[in-house]
Chain A
Amino acid sequence: MADRPADLSPPLRDWLAARRADLNARFRAAARLRPALDPAAVLALCRDLLAPLAADPHPQLPALLDALYDLILLHAGRGTLGPVSTAPPLGVLFREAFPALRPHLLARPRALPADLSNATENLGRRGAAFAQTLPALGGVLTNPDDLLDAGAVLAWRLGEARLRGAALAAAARLPAAAVLVALGLPAWPPATAPLLVAALAADGWRSPAAVFTPATLDELAGSPPAARLDALRIAVASPADGPAGDWRPAGRVGDFRGFNGDFDAPPVLLDAGESTGRHRFWVRAGQDTYRVDADALGWVCRRDPDAAFPVLSPHATPVAPRTAGSALKKALGLARPPRPNAAVPPGAASALVGPDFLAYTRPDSFRVRVVTPPRSPL
């Protein structure tokens, strides 16, 4: 950071001049921790990444540049950001998202860049899609808290199934445009957003894109009467129905460790009592126990060594777990007595059977199969 190229914008030049000693000291401190930190690479990253954000002066710009400089030191030192970055998602975040999110970053200069950097890293291979969508979210939101909430919805849509509950709660508060962008349906009319949230709360095993037919979307793009909206709201939140023979595979969860999964042996479902449900299972694979969060948008499997549950035999009396959206159904007067469950396929190693879903495993497969009643777009 010793040089001061003439082509830098005045705000960036001023910041560099004013903070020169401090920035150099921070670089040396970072370099002691990570000896591979290359001053030329840091300088290049600063030119590359800070300049687009420092085009115009702003009272919070120095704080933002400070925070970004620290992020650059962190990621350059770890090899997660640079000309030969090992984590392209961070490159997308810094190069594409941050310039577009400048007003939000200036509103919360110290924390927001770090929060978004962490989320991008935490989402792994889905981080690039997360970073690519942030500018669109920023464009329809006005404050950083909403951006973080919308980020949670986006992360859920990208497959972070553990955020299902939090994301649904956040989506209920957010502006419709942000919800639709986060759910990957930016072209849908705003009136669809609350209906989508209700639909996904009632049944996570349906894809958001498959909730409405094109005709209904056209209808919602106009100004449908309130009665029609109410009817749609009740319909989307209604439980799926159909004879057991018509149930269809809704998802396959987990995989063999050799194929980017977690299991080194075919898993069996465990009886976790009230804790389990349509979107959360515990399984044992070999000696390890895992918690699996899953819905139509993706699944996340995490080792849970503290869990000690018995195996769910496919022949045992099924536990009827609490289903997602049951409170909503009850509120809408849709609660109903349990119906006959779907038949567990022959040869299943374990099974979890509920009124409107069946999860089972097979002795020759590394996946948990989820079957639900059929549901057509409205």
Chain B
Amino acid sequence: MASPRPAHDPRQVSAAPTLPRAKPAGARDFDVRDLYAGPAAAPAASGEPVALDEKFRQAYFWVVNHAVITPYYDIEYNEDGRPPRAFTFGGAGTEVRLPTAMSYSSFVLLPILTFALRKRALFIGGPGRGKTASAVLMGLLAGDDLRTVRRGIQHGQPQMTVADLLGNPLPKALMQSDSADDIKIAWRRWISMRVKIVDEYNRIPTRTQSALLTLLADGYAEVLGQTIESPESAWFLTANDDMGGGTYQVIEALRDRIDIVIKALNFNPRFLSDLLTRVEDGVRPEKFVPPEIIFTPEELDRAYAEILKVAIPRAVRRRLEFFAAQFDFCDLAAREIEYKSKDTIHLAGKTLSQVCADDCGRDKVKCLCSQTENGLSVRSLMTLLAFAKGLAWFRGQPEVTLADVRQVVPWILHEKLTQNPTSPFFDQTGAGVYRVDRIGWLRQAFDAACEEFVRLDLDRSDPVVAMDEAFDRGLEGVPEQEVRKRLADIEMHLTQLAKATKLYAHVQADVLKLKYYHQRYSNYLRWLTARPT
């Protein structure tokens, strides 16, 4: 049980449960715990361990309530059947919604999810917006003391060498070594920390960035042939420039390894009184991180394992598949269906905007494929799945919902999808803002894909789903007659598709999968009929 603290006390932790649920009929009996519960204590302390998702929620609420002044609740959830009340303002027609379910501030929630998922986040935003401070808080949640966390921050600067970043050979060992194997390296302490912070990573020289990439991507560092492995860690990088520009161009491979982007928003001056209080009281929240919300390495491992167990139902997965299929496809990129990819265009040294200028018979305002220069990488999709699971777990849900996916999509794809600014989509009235508002753009793209999915009634009538289920049951023991029937079904469905629709992006994904199934069944049939009886 936490010691009693006033609500404004910076060490006060929200009482569990932070996500109260409706009391079931026949609620549990009053017991000894209830005798000792009350205003002077939070229930976390009575020796009964708090569930890890609850502990993460407590950490979130502590950061929101005491550490970071962030009035932005931009990750909105609504209860089923209770749409938000909306208000539309004049000017650009801004709509403000009042969510009906617990909603969250992305600037706090996303770092916490990154911390739980051991991913790599990039804070972007102007100076003084709390990017480094938020990263420091994550370091403290991992159990390091403030001094260690601060000393572990790597401050990007133009003179930063690989040795500055990773460590130096011990001079004595260097002088006395007969071979490279004998050289001892004084590794930098931050390499072994669970939370790694690289401030202004876009000011690190290119060569040092490569060394950073090895550590960030592969989990080890190398100096003079000696290596050290890093534990599973969460990474927090900061950059003042949204586009990753800075003193040095960030190498593409390093940018590609960043899993999620977190926007540091401006300070709302209506909260100046809170700031004044901090100035007057000398409040430094990072000095008061309550022990109740500090995670041990074992807890972090357990939390990660729990997150991975959260299920993603097929219906949600299908929406994500449909959405992801939209971007890589370009009908004009190649003759063969397999190569109708934006990669083909880039490998030819061209851009989508050059190719897309030709007519392909599609509505380029409506088709999402015209809006991006590239498609989604496997890494992006894996990150999307992980964060969707993480968000559902954080919200105490047994499985991922469509709303969870919708909320994480913009932050994951922020740096992954490159806009094609010449797409006619952006020329529509009111859509020009999406050229600068990437979060809004990606969110509307996901919504548009979902609307199209519903319009096509794919939730209820998707023949490929039945074929997936049949194939997932395995080929072993499937009789020849059944295989021939399935092959005929595939061919019939391809015939229907070819007659009924153009080769849209999602259709291409379906066709390629049907072709794949056709091959697998054909090979199996060949083996079945050729084997000696």
Binding site for B on A (CB under 8 A): 21, 25-26, 28-30, 32-34, 66-67, 70-71, 73-75, 77-78, 110-111, 113-119, 121-123, 145, 148-149, 151-152, 155, 160, 162-163, 165-166, 170, 275, 293, 300, 306
> How far apart are B27's CB and chain A's nearest CB, in angstroms?
7
CA distance A26 to B9 in the complex (A): 6
Structural contact, A74 and B282, CB atoms closer than 8 A:
no
Q: List 26 A-B contacts (CB under 8 A).
A: A21-B282, A25-B282, A25-B283, A26-B9, A28-B281, A29-B9, A29-B10, A33-B6, A67-B3, A70-B5, A77-B6, A110-B3, A111-B1, A114-B1, A114-B4, A115-B41, A116-B36, A117-B40, A118-B39, A121-B38, A121-B40, A145-B47, A148-B32, A152-B32, A152-B35, A306-B26
**Chain A residues with CB under 8 A of B35:** 118-119, 122-123, 151-152, 155, 160, 163
Structural contact, A170 and B27, CB atoms closer than 8 A:
no
CA distance A306 to B28 in the complex (A): 12
Structural contact, A115 and B281, CB atoms closer than 8 A:
no
> How far apart are B433's CB and chain A's nearest CB, in angstroms?
40
CA distance A78 to B3 in the complex (A): 17
Q: A26-B9, A111-B1 are in contact. Are A149 and B41 (CB under 8 A)?
A: no
Q: A111-B1, A114-B1, A117-B40 are in contact. Are A30 and B32 (CB under 8 A)?
A: no
B2 contacts the other chain (CB 8 A):
yes
Kindly report which residue of chain A lies nearest to residue B24, judged by CB atoms: A306
CA distance A149 to B47 in the complex (A): 13
Kindly report which residue of chain B lies nearest to residue A32, judged by CB atoms: B8
A-B contact count (CB 8 A): 116
**Contact among B6, B10, B38, B46 with A111 in the assembled complex (CB-CB below 8 Å):** B46
> How far apart are B13's CB and chain A's nearest CB, in angstroms?
12
Structural contact, A33 and B3, CB atoms closer than 8 A:
no
Structural contact, A163 and B31, CB atoms closer than 8 A:
yes
CA distance A306 to B25 in the complex (A): 6
**Chain B residues with CB under 8 A of A110:** 1-3, 45
Between A25, A122, A163, A170, the greatest number of chain B beta carbons within 10 A of the residue's beta carbon is seen for A25
Binding site for A on B (CB under 8 A): 1-10, 23, 25-27, 29-32, 34-41, 45-47, 277, 280-283
Kindly report which residue of chain A lies nearest to residue B38, judged by CB atoms: A118
Chain A residues touching B, majority SS = helix
CA distance A152 to B36 in the complex (A): 9
**Chain A residues with CB under 8 A of B277:** 32
Chain B residues touching A, majority SS = loop
Between B25, B26, B34, the greatest number of chain A beta carbons within 10 A of the residue's beta carbon is seen for B34
**Chain B residues with CB under 8 A of A119:** 35-36, 38
Q: A25-B281, A32-B277, A117-B40 are in contact. Are A166 and B31 (CB under 8 A)?
A: yes
Structural contact, A148 and B6, CB atoms closer than 8 A:
no
**Chain B residues with CB under 8 A of A165:** 29
A-B contact sample (15 more), CB < 8 A, given A74-B6, A113-B3: A21-B282, A25-B283, A26-B6, A28-B280, A29-B6, A29-B10, A30-B6, A30-B8, A74-B5, A74-B40, A111-B3, A118-B38, A155-B35, A163-B31, A306-B23
Kindly report which residue of chain B lies nearest to residue A25, judged by CB atoms: B281
Q: A114-B41, A115-B41, A148-B32 are in contact. Are A70 and B4 (CB under 8 A)?
A: yes
> How far apart are B16's CB and chain A's nearest CB, in angstroms?
15
> How far apart are B293's CB and chain A's nearest CB, in angstroms?
15
CA distance A77 to B5 in the complex (A): 11
**Contact among B4, B5, B23 with A117 in the assembled complex (CB-CB below 8 Å):** B4
CA distance A114 to B43 in the complex (A): 11
A-B interface, 6 closest residue pairs, ranked by CB to CB distance from nearest: A118-B38, A114-B41, A29-B8, A162-B30, A30-B6, A115-B36
Structural contact, A71 and B4, CB atoms closer than 8 A:
yes
Structural contact, B36 and A73, CB atoms closer than 8 A:
no
Structural contact, A67 and B4, CB atoms closer than 8 A:
yes
**Contact among A29, A70, A123, A163 with B3 in the assembled complex (CB-CB below 8 Å):** A70
CA distance A115 to B4 in the complex (A): 9
CA distance A25 to B278 in the complex (A): 10
Structural contact, A30 and B31, CB atoms closer than 8 A:
no
CA distance A322 to B23 in the complex (A): 26
**Chain A residues with CB under 8 A of B31:** 163, 166
CA distance A189 to B36 in the complex (A): 30
> How far apart are A90's CB and chain B's nearest CB, in angstroms?
10
Kindly report which residue of chain B lies nearest to residue A149, judged by CB atoms: B32
> How far apart are B522's CB and chain A's nearest CB, in angstroms?
61
